[in-house]
Structure 1
C-alpha cells in the first residue's frame, strides 16, 4: 500500500487556440460546455474522495489547456469545489498555469481569493516572430502586462516557461529571451526543448520536410548556454529543465520526480494512487457523461514492484540532487538500491554519465553534466535493466 496522496493535479482542457507543437489534451474554448465540465469535475472530486479519502493536500497543480481562460465567476466556482472536497494544508503550494494575455486583474483576484498562490506563465519566447511561428497568440507586451497585474494583486511566487530548439531560433536569439526573462527577477524558470509530437501541426510539417529546426549540436549549445546563464544569475539548477531561487523549487512537480502518489482529475488526466496508475477519458463531453455514474477512467492498471523501482530511478535522476539509497529503501523496504541496480549504476559511472557521492550515512547517485545531455539514454537503460 502506498501512502494516501498529498498532491492533487486537476486538468482544465480549454484553450483559446491550439499551439503548433501541442499534443496535450486540450480543446478550443469556443462553444465548449465549460460550466458542465466544472460540474463534472466536482462529481469526480466527490467520487475520488469517497474511494481514497484524502488526509491533507500539500500541493495542488491546475494545468491544461489554459486554466486562465475561465471567467472570474467560473474560476470562483472551480476553486470553491477544490476546497469543498480536499483538505488543503495551511502552507499548501497551489499552482495554476496561465497564458499571458488571459489574466486581467479581476481574474487574478478570483484566483488569489480562491487560494492560488503560485502562477506558471507559458511565455515560451520574448521574440514576437518566434511566438507567431509556434502558434502562440500572445505577444511580448502581454507578458509584462500579465506579470504587472499579478504583482498588483499580490502574487510573488511566479514562474515562466521558455522553449529552445524552435524553428529559426539561434543561440543569439535564445540569449536575448533569457536576458529579458532574467531581468524580471522571478523566483523560478522552466526551460524546455521543442519535441515534435504526433497529431500536431509541427509533426505534419516535419513529415513533409517543411519544418526547419536547429541542428542537434546547436540545441545542445542552447541547453548548456541556458544552464550557464541562469545559474550565473544565482538560480539553483535543481531538475533537468528547472531553475529556482532557494526555497522556490516546485514542490508539486517534485512529487512526480520522487515517484510519490498523486490524485489526477479531469479529462485525459493521469493519477497514481495505491500503486495503480490511471488515465481518464479524453474528450469534454465523454468525460462529462462518464462522471455522472462513475470515475471517468479510460484505463487503470497495477504497477508491479519492479516497474515502480524503474520509475523511481527514471524520474528521480531528473533531479540534480539525484536519488539516495535511503529514499529508495523507504519506498521499497524489502530491497536496496545497490542490490537492484548496482550493476547498471556501475556501467553508467564508467561511461561518465553518473556519479556516486557519499553523504552522512547515505549515498547519492546523480547524473554528471554529460549525463544531463544524454539523460534519456540513462533513463532508458534503467527501464531496460533486468
Structure 2
C-alpha cells in the first residue's frame, strides 16, 4: 500500500548547472495541458490500484520547479490533487520552491490548497557560487520569501544547501551555514555536489574545466556541517538532513524506510504493489500515453525478495536510527543476523557500524563512507 505520493512538475525558468532531473524550460511548453494530464494519470492509477491509495500520509511536489507555475496553475493543480488523492490521512504536504519565484499570491495559493511544508532551494548564500551553479536568486530573495511564507502561515520550512561546489572554500561554507541558522527555520538539508551525466557541470568536468574541492576538504565541510547543526539544535536524522524535534521530513522517511509510494508526472518514479516503475520523460510521450487511457509507464521492475532486503539495509542505514531489528523481522520473517551476521560483525570491527538490541546504525566515522558501507549489504542471487 502506498504511503506517499510524489508529483513531478518538470518546468523551470532557469536550468541549474548541476541538475539531472527531468526538466524543460517553461517558455512555450504545454503547461496547462500537462496539469490536466496529471489529473488523468492520478485517476488511471487509482482505478488500477484502488486499494493502494486509501492511507496516503504525504504528498510531495517536486521538479523541476513547482513554483514556476502561476498562482492560477497552482490552484488548478492542487484542486486536481484534492479531487483524486484521499486527503483524510495526509499529514505532510510539501512543495519545492525557488526563492525568487514565490510571490505572496503563490504562497497563498499553496497554503489554501493544503500545502503545509516548503522546501526551498537556496544552495548557497554566496552570490559568486550561486552564479557558478546557475542559480538566479539573491540572499534578499531568501530573506523576503521566508518572511512572506511565515506571514501566510507556513511554519514548517526547509532549505537545501550544497557543499563541495566548484571553487568553494571552507570560509564560504561556514558563512552559508551561519546565514542559514540566522533564518530560525526548523529543517535544513545539506548535500555534497555530485557531478551527474547530462548536466552542464558534467560537460565542463569531462573537458577539465570544473575545479572541485579536494576530497579531504569536502570531508572537512561535512564534519563542520554535523558539528554546527548539533550546536544550533538541529538533530541529524539522516546522512544529509537535520531538523528540530517533530520537523523531520515524513515523505523522505518513506523512501528510507523502503515503503511504497506513487509517482505521477513526466519522468516520475514510483514503487507500488511491489513494482518499481518510471514514467515517460518527454512531455509528448507522457501526455499521449495518458490521453490514450494508459498509465505512462516506460519501465517496470518487480522487486525480488533479495532486492527488498538490500534496499531495506542501505536505505535504512541512511537514517541516524539505522535499521531496526523488529522492522526487518516483520518484513522478512527472519532476523537481520540470519542474513547479515558476518557483514555486520566486520563493519562493527572496523568502527563503521554500531549494533545494539534495537538494531544497527552508522557510526560518525561510518557517515563519511556511507556508500562503501551500503555496498557491503548487496546479496548474490
Question: Is the contact made by 2:56 and 2:89 (CA closer than 8 Å) also made in structure 1?
Answer: no
Matching residue within 356, 366, 380 for 2:361: 366
User: Could you tell me how far 1:56 is from its partner in structure 2?
Assistant: 2.3
Distance in 2, matches of 1:384 and 1:126, equals 42
The aligned counterpart of 1:257 is 256
The aligned counterpart of 1:143 is 142
Question: Is the contact made by 1:12 and 1:62 (CA closer than 8 Å) also made in structure 2?
Answer: yes
The aligned counterpart of 2:328 is 328
**Structure 1 residue runs without a partner (length 5+):** none
The aligned counterpart of 2:375 is 380
Instruction: Confirm whether residue 316 of structure 1 aligns to residue 311 of structure 2.
Output: no
The aligned counterpart of 1:297 is 297
**Structure 2 residue runs without a partner (length 5+):** none
> TM-score, with normalisation over the residues of structure 1?
0.96
User: Could you tell me how far 1:384 is from its partner in structure 2?
Assistant: 4.9
How do residues 44-59 of structure 1 correspond to structure 2 at under 5 angstroms? 44-53=41-50, 54-59=53-58
Q: CA RMSD in A?
A: 1.0
Distance in 1, matches of 2:278 and 2:32, equals 22
Distance in 2, matches of 1:177 and 1:88, equals 37
Matching residue within 9, 26, 31 for 1:12: 9
Distance in 1, matches of 2:130 and 2:277, equals 34
User: Could you tell me how far 1:370 is from its partner in structure 2?
Assistant: 1.1
Distance in 2, matches of 1:342 and 1:81, equals 48
Distance in 1, matches of 2:276 and 2:89, equals 28
Secondary structure of the 2:135 match is coil
Task: Single out whichever of 363-372 and 85-94 deviates more from structure 2.
Answer: 85-94
Distance in 1, matches of 2:206 and 2:185, equals 38
The aligned counterpart of 1:187 is 186
Task: Single out whichever of 51-60 and 241-250 deviates more from structure 2.
Answer: 51-60
Secondary structure of the 2:58 match is strand
User: Could you tell me how far 1:119 is from its partner in structure 2?
Assistant: 0.2
Question: Is the contact made by 2:22 and 2:64 (CA closer than 8 Å) also made in structure 1?
Answer: yes
How do residues 195-210 of structure 1 correspond to structure 2 at under 5 angstroms? 195-210=194-209
How do residues 117-266 of structure 1 correspond to structure 2 at under 5 angstroms? 117-266=116-265
User: Could you tell me how far 1:89 is from its partner in structure 2?
Assistant: 2.9
Question: Is the contact made by 2:161 and 2:190 (CA closer than 8 Å) also made in structure 1?
Answer: yes
Distance in 2, matches of 1:269 and 1:343, equals 37
Secondary structure of the 2:2 match is coil
Number of equivalences: 378
Question: Is the contact made by 1:278 and 1:299 (CA closer than 8 Å) also made in structure 2?
Answer: yes
After superposition, what is the alpha-carbon deviation per residue over 1:21-76, rounded to whole angstroms, capped at 9, x for unaligned?
11011111011100000111011100010111211211111100000011111101
Task: Single out whichever of 315-324 and 52-61 deviates more from structure 2.
Answer: 52-61
After superposition, what is the alpha-carbon deviation per residue over 1:336-369, rounded to whole angstroms, capped at 9, x for unaligned?
21111111111111111101022xxxx3200011
Question: Is the contact made by 2:55 and 2:89 (CA closer than 8 Å) also made in structure 1?
Answer: no
User: Could you tell me how far 1:90 is from its partner in structure 2?
Assistant: 5.2
After superposition, what is the alpha-carbon deviation per residue over 1:63-101, rounded to whole angstroms, capped at 9, x for unaligned?
000000111111011001111111113552000000111
Question: Is the contact made by 1:60 and 1:94 (CA closer than 8 Å) also made in structure 2?
Answer: yes
Distance in 2, matches of 1:106 and 1:207, equals 43
The aligned counterpart of 2:105 is 106
Secondary structure of the 1:382 match is coil
User: Could you tell me how far 1:381 is from its partner in structure 2?
Assistant: 1.4
Secondary structure of the 2:308 match is helix
Distance in 1, matches of 2:88 and 2:169, equals 44
Distance in 2, matches of 1:298 and 1:136, equals 31
The aligned counterpart of 1:283 is 282
Distance in 2, matches of 1:97 and 1:244, equals 17
Question: Is the contact made by 1:344 and 1:385 (CA closer than 8 Å) also made in structure 2?
Answer: no
Instruction: Confirm whether residue 355 of structure 1 aligns to residue 350 of structure 2.
Output: no
Question: Is the contact made by 1:56 and 1:86 (CA closer than 8 Å) also made in structure 2?
Answer: no
Distance in 1, matches of 2:243 and 2:363, equals 19
Distance in 2, matches of 1:215 and 1:23, equals 23
User: Could you tell me how far 1:171 is from its partner in structure 2?
Assistant: 1.0
Distance in 1, matches of 2:329 and 2:154, equals 38
